[in-house]
Structure 1
Amino acid sequence: MALTLGSINRSMNGVVVALTEAPVIGALMRRGFVVVTYTGRRSGKTFSTPVFYQRSGDKVTIGVAMPDSKQWWRNFLGEGGPISLHLNGVDRSGHATAARDAKGRVSVRVRLDPAI
């Protein structure tokens, strides 16, 4: 089986997700990583991926590293769309929008729905 960038990325994502759920190191990992779940705009399939994030109240900002080599954030262009984040052991829903700045950097901004 040949290694591709996609297969390496999927393997690394699996490692990061496992580390966020680990008993000892999980709390440290969750300070910087969150698992986002969304529905693909073309496929209609559900995907989950770990990402770096920053949170301020009900707002979460995700900086997309190397955005031209990734597709997931494009689901949130224009009007954006629904997203789920696994924050502090709890799934939270919200609305995400993606934007590219003048320097080509991409960020996804999420407004969390009120906690139930």
Structure 2
Amino acid sequence: MRYRGPIPKWMVGWVNTRVLALRRSPRFGRAVRGRLTVVTYTGRRSGRVFSTPVGYRRTADLVTIGVRLPQRKSWWRNFTGEGGPLTLELDGADRAGHAIARVDDRGRVTVTIRLG
């Protein structure tokens, strides 16, 4: 049986804590930071600031995030339509950008960020 509800918050916190520790690791951090970053954004409705680790690909000033299990996550919904601002941790510094989330005809979600 597959669980289809939202991912429990305790589980998300547990995984995110370990991913962030891996990014800071002296042994593995450099390799992990090339594929994982931390996205910080302000929620459209709540006005609260959130940070979450995500996998990414980067080409010059364009960053692409493929959202895995998008139906079970909500952070990317803050960037639908015209999108919105966010900050990414790249190369040891925070970089501001504008993100737009798109859902394709198969339900896959891609968030594209143009760095400022």
Q: Under a length normalisation based on structure 2, what TM-score does the superposition of the two structures give?
A: 0.92
One-letter code aligned to 1:109: T
One-letter code aligned to 2:39: V
Partner of 1:69: 72
Residue 14 of structure 1 and its aligned partner are, at CA, apart by: 1.1
Partner of 1:108: 111
Partner of 1:11: 14
CA distance in 1, matches of 2:76, 2:11: 19
Match for residue 32 of structure 2 among 29, 33, 36:
29
CA distance in 1, matches of 2:22, 2:104: 32
3-state DSSP of counterpart to 2:58: strand
* Aligned CA-pair RMSD: 0.9
Residue 11 of structure 1 and its aligned partner are, at CA, apart by: 1.1
Residue 68 of structure 1 and its aligned partner are, at CA, apart by: 0.5
Does residue 81 of structure 1 match 2:84? Answer: yes
Does residue 38 of structure 1 match 2:38? Answer: no
Residue 5 of structure 1 and its aligned partner are, at CA, apart by: 2.2
Partner of 1:50: 53
Stretches of structure 1 that go unaligned for 5 or more consecutive residues are none
CA distance in 2, matches of 1:68, 1:10: 18
One-letter code aligned to 1:74: R
